């Protein structure tokens, strides 16, 4: 068995509107580890997860998951592969017409022939893992943001996937929820022997639990290594991101015309 579960080589991606998001990116996600993909907002971290999940197709290069090139698979084969992946979406993506129990039971009902009593037991176990067994009968609109994300996590691990992808799991969480989530990600990875990919820009929380870190800035991987080596890297781009410095090579402003030109142009073209 190969040591890496996901291999991205020379991958470039361009949106339909022509905007290039990635240029010749190489990323390797090792099995059984927590790999963090970090970078400023708008660098395409979520897009990267969608590329790994086969929801988007790269313009060039290859993305291999478990030895298979994701974007060359037939729909049937891709869906087979996705059964071994779980993804925690930024907003949770819970089905609003189903309660918590039905949400977590959904993948089990779709992909297994298990009896209802067996499904019930599995759902309870998954909800117990995220500490929300008591919220069984609540509807998604009755949950707080943090709770919704934990329920979505329980649903993502319902089928015991080999790979789990977290899209900004810590954004907008209160300190307690954040602490719980950080611990949960670490515990789940260890106890279920998962391979985890965390996409985030919460530097301290992510560095705490990641085994390996990739930092993407301006379409490219600007650094990778263990959290310790990243923290002590001399690259100015990395240091600016890690320390949250306002000035440096990573621009804060969206690309624009010189300020004078914009003012002189007037309001006509806005």
Show contacts with another protein in window 17-76 (CB under 8 A).
50, 53, 55, 75
State how far the Cα of 44 lies from the Cα of 135, in Å rounded to an integer: 34
Q: Which strand (E) or helix (H) includes residue 164?
A: strand 163-167
Choose, by CB under 8 A, the member of 51, 65, 152, 230 that binds another protein.
Answer: 152
**Is residue 94 at the binding interface for another protein, with CB under 8 A as the rule?**
yes
**Is residue 199 at the binding interface for another protein, with CB under 8 A as the rule?**
no
- Residue number with CB closer to another protein (161 or 227): 161
Q: Helix axis angle, 116-129 relative to 145-156, nearest 10°?
A: 130
Choose, by CB under 8 A, the member of 31, 47, 73, 106 that binds another protein.
Answer: 106
In sign, the C-alpha dihedral spanning 240, 246, 252, 257 is negative
Query: Whole-number minimum distance, CB 146 to another protein, in Å?
Result: 17
Choose, by CB under 8 A, the member of 110, 142, 218, 262 that binds another protein.
Answer: 110
- Contact present, 95 and 106 (Cβ < 8 Å): yes
Q: 3: how many CB neighbours lie within 10 A of its CB?
A: 9
Query: Whole-number minimum distance, CB 247 to another protein, in Å?
Result: 33
Q: Which strand (E) or helix (H) includes residue 104?
A: helix 100-111
> How big is the CA angle at 87 (ends 151 and 195), to the nearest 5 degrees?
110
- Residue count (the chain): 270
Q: Which two tokens stand for residue 139?
A: 């509807």
**Is residue 95 at the binding interface for another protein, with CB under 8 A as the rule?**
yes
Choose, by CB under 8 A, the member of 64, 82, 126, 149 that binds another protein.
Answer: 82
Q: Which strand (E) or helix (H) includes residue 103?
A: helix 100-111
Q: Which two tokens stand for residue 160?
A: 């015991």
SS3 (DSSP) at 59: coil
- Residue number with CB closer to another protein (41 or 234): 41
Query: Whole-number minimum distance, CB 241 to another protein, in Å?
Result: 26
Q: Using CB under 8 A, which of the segments 93-101, 199-207, 210-218, 243-251 binds another protein?
A: 93-101
**Is residue 149 at the binding interface for another protein, with CB under 8 A as the rule?**
no
Q: If binding means CB under 8 A, how many residues of this protein chain bind another protein?
A: 26
- Residue number with CB closer to another protein (159 or 213): 159
- Contact present, 88 and 150 (Cβ < 8 Å): no
Residues of this chain that bind another protein (CB under 8 A): 50, 53, 55, 75, 79-80, 82-83, 85-87, 89-96, 106-107, 110-111, 152, 155, 159
């Amino acid at each position: 068995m190969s040591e890496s579960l996901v291999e991205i080589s020379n991958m470039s991606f361009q949106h339909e509107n022509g905007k290039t998001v990635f240029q010749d990116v190489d990323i390797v996600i090792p099995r059984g580890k927590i790999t963090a993909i970090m970078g400023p907002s708008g660098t395409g971290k979520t897009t990267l997860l969608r590329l790994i999940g086969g929801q988007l197709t790269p313009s060039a290069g290859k993305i291999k998951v478990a030895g298979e090139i994701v974007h060359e698979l037939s729909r049937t084969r891709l869906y087979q592969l996705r059964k071994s992946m779980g993804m925690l979406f930024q907003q949770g993506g819970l089905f609003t017409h189903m309660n918590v129990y039905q949400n977590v039971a959904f993948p089990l009902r779709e992909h297994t022939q298990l009896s209802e009593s067996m499904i019930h037991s599995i759902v309870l176990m998954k909800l117990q893992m995220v500490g929300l067994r008591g919220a069984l009968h609540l509807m998604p609109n009755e949950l707080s943001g943090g709770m919704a994300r934990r329920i979505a996590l329980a649903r993502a691990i319902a089928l015991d996937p080999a790979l789990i992808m977290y899209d900004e799991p810590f954004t907008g969480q209160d300190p307690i929820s954040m602490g719980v989530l950080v611990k949960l990600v670490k515990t789940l990875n260890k106890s279920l022997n998962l391979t985890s990919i965390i996409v985030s820009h919460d530097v301290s929380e992510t560095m705490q639990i990641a085994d390996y870190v990739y930092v993407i800035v301006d379409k490219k991987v600007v650094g990778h290594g263990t959290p310790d080596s990243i923290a002590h890297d001399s690259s100015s781009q990395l240091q600016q991101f890690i320390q949250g410095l306002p000035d440096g090579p990573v621009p804060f402003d969206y690309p624009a015309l010189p300020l004078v030109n914009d003012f002189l142009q007037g309001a006509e073209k806005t």
